[in-house]
Amino acid sequence: MRSVHFTAESTTDGVVERDFTVGEIPGVLWSPVSGPDRAPLVLLGHGGGTHKRWPAMTGRARLLVTRCGFHVACVDAPGHGDRPRTPHDEREIAALYRAREAGEPEGPIVVRYNAHLADRAVREWRATLDALQELPEIGADGPVGYFGLNMATAIGVPLTAAEPRITAAVFGQHWPDALAETARRITVPVEFALQWDDEHIPREAGLALFDAFASKEKTLHANAGGHKELPRFEAESAVRFFARHLTRQPSA
Amino acid sequence: MRSVHFTAESTTDGVVERDFTVGEIPGVLWSPVSGPDRAPLVLLGHGGGTHKRWPAMTGRARLLVTRCGFHVACVDAPGHGDRPRTPHDEREIAALYRAREAGEPEGPIVVRYNAHLADRAVREWRATLDALQELPEIGADGPVGYFGLNMATAIGVPLTAAEPRITAAVFGQHWPDALAETARRITVPVEFALQWDDEHIPREAGLALFDAFASKEKTLHANAGGHKELPRFEAESAVRFFARHLTRQPSA
């Protein structure tokens, strides 16, 4: 088993940010500055074509740290960020750009490529989680959440289905094709975001993926607007979702 | 035009609660204790078979007052609470109970009876709003929201379509039959709640009503569970929605 190897550290506005590697996987761990007490961990997945320091990732991480005092980890998915692309990656990305320029549907290519990446990414996340839980400030028995939309839903659904340590998840904005069967095995609380007027993902497809989760507690947030117009307040909603589910509440 | 006539006042935990009448319409106005400054007003509608002091109404009102400093008004709908039932009300309520006992669909009766009540209730809400806006702590040009599910959506949709003073609304849990055409004239921000496993309102019917709103900013919150299992946290979400839309934000 590989351990976390820290390579850089900085602190900004109450948030400690540490670059790390676990084997060949580069990641960032955001943590509260204060206190040695253990705190819950949220695994943050980035979308296709972006990386672990994409502004949406940094923004969500800071919200989770400052509002909830959680630790937040994001790693580069295979072929993304600081990681090399394989010839297979290059072919799929070229196919996606060709479809986009020709005005053809992106769905079939994205679904198939994301499923390919998920096979590798799920193994990598599990190894990363093993390593992060060796840190004294996280620990092996603390609550763990997963937060990822788009490609990070294609990775997060099989990860959450396979990984009993994840007890709450925020997903969204993906086709059901390669995921619905796996989603039917997920029973932890889920918050799911989709865009009502998504130009890539048909409305019925998004609703079908939400419907597939077996979770007794699941919430759909559908907002008017296109694929890239997810409102900012959905990040705050996800933070409240994790605060509800990863924090031990006084019995109500 | 009729004025607000206050009949009782009490203060609990920072919230002033005043019973009032406007003509024959009895209502409650909840307000913050502090300050003579004007504050936004939320009109709160109760569901079928309940009344202005139903626990859900009191709870939502207190949240809006204590979190946002808003005024909140709820009036008894025709045939509800302290108001007399007409022979027509009695016949429809008897028909609803017969359907319920026979295990027949409630929808056709509820849709038709709510549409009947809405005709009267919209006129009453507009007269109540006229009167409330004469109060110096509310004023004639302040922001106004509407918050009502179930029967209160059947009333609130035509009210909001007719009433330019309402600039944000929370609706939900209703059939589209008598409402979708009117909803197409509504352009203010809308948050809409439905239950994914509602035993009375088919999923497609609830989604169709959400789809009908012409609002550029609209959000659907669909939660797993039956008709009466709307999660508590949706009330808090509605409060945040009104805080976003009725409070003048610093330009962002």
Query: CA distances (Å), A222 to each of A41, A210, B105, in order?
Result: 26, 11, 28
Residue of A153, A164, A167, A166 lying closest to A212 (CA atoms): A153
pLDDT digits (tens, 9 = 90+) for B27-36: 999 999 976 6
User: What integer pLDDT is reported at residue A34 of this predicted model?
Assistant: 79
User: What integer pLDDT is reported at residue B252 of this predicted model?
Assistant: 40
Residue A250: pLDDT over 60 = no
Across the interface, which of A216, A240, A244 has its CB nearest the CB of B224? A216
Q: Pick the residue with more confidence: A189 or B251? A: A189
Which pLDDT band holds residue A252 (cuts at 50, 70, 90)? very low
Average pLDDT over residues A187-204: 98
Residue A211: pLDDT over 60 = yes
With beta carbons under 8 A apart, name residues in chain A contacting B222: 210, 219-220, 222
pLDDT digits (tens, 9 = 90+) for B81-102: 999 999 999 999 999 999 999 9
Q: Pick the residue with more confidence: A182 or B248? A: A182
Average pLDDT over residues A165-174: 98
Whether A102 has its CB under 8 Å from any CB of chain B: the answer is: no
Residue B181's contacts (CB-CB under 8 Å, 6 or more residues apart) are: B212
Q: Name the one residue in this structure whose structure tokens are 């996606």.
A: A96
Query: CA distances (Å), B102 to each of B99, B105, B108, B198, in order?
Result: 5, 9, 14, 19
Query: CA distances (Å), A147 to each of A42, A52, A158, A187, A222, in order?
Result: 7, 13, 13, 16, 17
Distance, CA of A182 to chain centre = 16
Contact A22, A127 (CB under 8 A): yes
Burial category of B7 from C-beta neighbours within 10 Å (exposed 0-12, middle 13-18, buried 19 and up): exposed
Interface probe for A, chosen from B188, B216, B219 (most Cβ of A below 10 Å), is B219
User: What integer pLDDT is reported at residue B251 of this predicted model?
Assistant: 47
pLDDT digits (tens, 9 = 90+) for B173-201: 999 999 999 999 999 999 999 999 999 99
Min distance A139 CA to chain B CA atoms (Å): 30
Across the interface, which of A219, A224, A240 has its CB nearest the CB of B218? A224
Strand pairing partners for B17?
Answer: B10, B30
Fold for B5-246, please state it.
Answer: Rossmann fold (3.40.50)
Distance (Å, whole) CA A82 – CA A25: 9
Which pLDDT band holds residue B1 (cuts at 50, 70, 90)? confident
Residue A1: pLDDT over 90 = no
The pTM of this model reads: 0.94
- Residue A228 sits at φ, ψ, to 5 deg, of -95, 10
Mean pLDDT of chain B: 96
Distance (Å, whole) CA A112 – CA A185: 21
User: What integer pLDDT is reported at residue B35 of this predicted model?
Assistant: 65
Residue of A14, A8, A23, A85 lying closest to A48 (CA atoms): A85
- Contacting B residues, span 194-233, partner chain A, CB-CB under 8 Å: 196, 207, 210-211, 215-224, 231, 233
Residue B250: pLDDT over 70 = no
With beta carbons under 8 A apart, name residues in chain A contacting B244: 233
Residue A35: pLDDT over 80 = no
Whether A244 has its CB under 8 Å from any CB of chain B: the answer is: yes
Distance (Å, whole) CA B192 – CA A196: 13
